[in-house]
Amino acid sequence: MITTTGSPMISMEEALQVVLNISQRLEPVTVSFRDSLGKVLAQDVRAQDPLPPYRASIKILIDSGIVGATKLGLLIKSKGQFEL
């Protein structure tokens, strides 16, 4: 197929290979959270502790039919109380 500029059109696979051949991997850099907009993580982020620290989710509470489960003042009990 010929494009409107008269150049032959290449397949998606060929185009991807061209990009991979000419692009270079950048070295990871450390930036502040504020400067991280538009950046891509070099590695996965993992939480030090499991969050939330209790075995419950708001969806479970809503599905259980607890009255007021969708209100912001809901308290969840698990080794104490956590206000949502």
Q: What is the pLDDT of residue 21?
A: 95
For the chain, the farthest-separated pair of C-alpha atoms sits apart, in whole angstroms, at 71
> Is 4 inside any structural domain?
no
Domain span at residue 30? 12-83
Q: What is the pLDDT of residue 63?
A: 55
* 16-73 confidence digits (pLDDT tens): 999 999 999 889 999 998 999 999 898 888 878 777 666 665 555 555 555 555 544 4
Q: What is the pLDDT of residue 20?
A: 94
pTM above 0.75, yes or no: no
Q: Which two tokens stand for residue 66?
A: 């607890």
Q: How confident is the model over 67-81, as a mean pLDDT?
A: 51
> Is 16 inside any structural domain?
yes
> Is 30 inside any structural domain?
yes
State the total domains in the chain. 1
- What is the H or E stretch that residue 13 is in? helix 12-22
> Is 5 inside any structural domain?
no
> Is 7 inside any structural domain?
no
